Amino acid sequence: MKNPINQATVSFPKKLNITDQEIDISSLSDAQKEYYVDLFEEVVRLYQAKKKVRVIVGLSGPAGAGKSVIAAIFHEIAKQRPLPFRFESIGIDAFHYQNDFLISNLSDGEPLKNHKGRFDTYDLPKLTEALTHFSLGHSISLPVYSRKIHDPIENVMDIKRGEPALLLVEGLWLLYDKNGWDKVGKLLDYSIFVEADNDAVRNNVLKRHVRRGRSIGNASEYYEENEGKNFDLVMKTKNKANKIIPSYYDLG
């Protein structure tokens, strides 16, 4: 493998397209760029050390911590790094139950749709099966989540049988050990937790909801009933991670 790259040799775009949304990263400092290049190189070394054809790295943390942004930055670095394996990433949102299912199925008398993003709104058997097939080197076609239609889109990412690949999986519940999520955690070769302050992520998530059309009042109410409650549960899982890093928004 060729020598690792460094921040000075990596070109960072001003904007990233993340699940059909443009995210401005033009304010990234040189220190931030260097941090993520170094972190990516650490993941590359991990792949080499595992001596496996397929490696799964989990990127966990609360909503609003910048997990999807970090994954997209990794993609930009990977495009400029000669690698002997394929680098891909998926979010667990791609394994959400379809909205029709969430609307028609209840939890405590309420549609699951009202709590979308909670641990029980994902098709956990489907996620577990997909990661298992990937890990075993099988041919696999993975879904992605669309923020335009707010539903998963099936069969978007194809990985061939035996193709060397590192899969970065990002989501809230990767290290959660209840309701069957421990099966997912056991499939991770390594895990990174993105730590974040509650007030900071609340502000980030509210901005996200407002961009998608909610009023600030409705966004705030939704956060308190959903992401706010999820935050406490997710933060309790951080000590299960192999590595803890600061939020994208807290890294100066």
**CA distance linking residue 114 with residue 17, whole number of Å:** 27
Dump the DSSP string for 136-183: TT--EEEEEEETTTTEEEEEEEEE-TT--EEEEEEETTTT--STTTHH
Tell me, which fold does domain 7-246 have in CATH? Rossmann fold (3.40.50)
pLDDT score of 4:
60
Alpha helix locations (H) across the chain? 30-50, 67-79, 99-104, 124-135, 182-185, 198-211, 216-225, 227-235
pTM: 0.92
Task: Indicate the length of the chain as a whole number.
Answer: 252
Strands 151-159 and 140-146: antiparallel
Reported confidence tier of residue 250, pLDDT bands at 50, 70, 90: low
Strands 243-246 and 140-146: unpaired
Answer yes or no: are the C-beta atoms of 133 and 108 closer than 8 Å: no
> Can you tell me the distance from the alpha carbon of 71 to that of 43, in angstroms, rounded to the nearest whole number?
12
pLDDT digits over 64-102, tens only?
899 999 999 999 999 999 999 999 999 999 999 999 999
pLDDT the model gives residue 206: 84
Structure confidence by residue, pLDDT tens digits, 164-195: 999 999 999 999 999 999 999 999 999 999 99
Answer with the residue of higher pLDDT: 233 or 229: 233
Q: Is the pLDDT of residue 3 over 70?
A: no
> Are 37 and 10 a contacting pair, CB within 8 Å?
yes
Spell out the long-range contacts of 28-32 with Cβ–Cβ below 8 A and sequence spacing 24 or more: 29/252, 31/251, 31/252, 32/251, 32/252
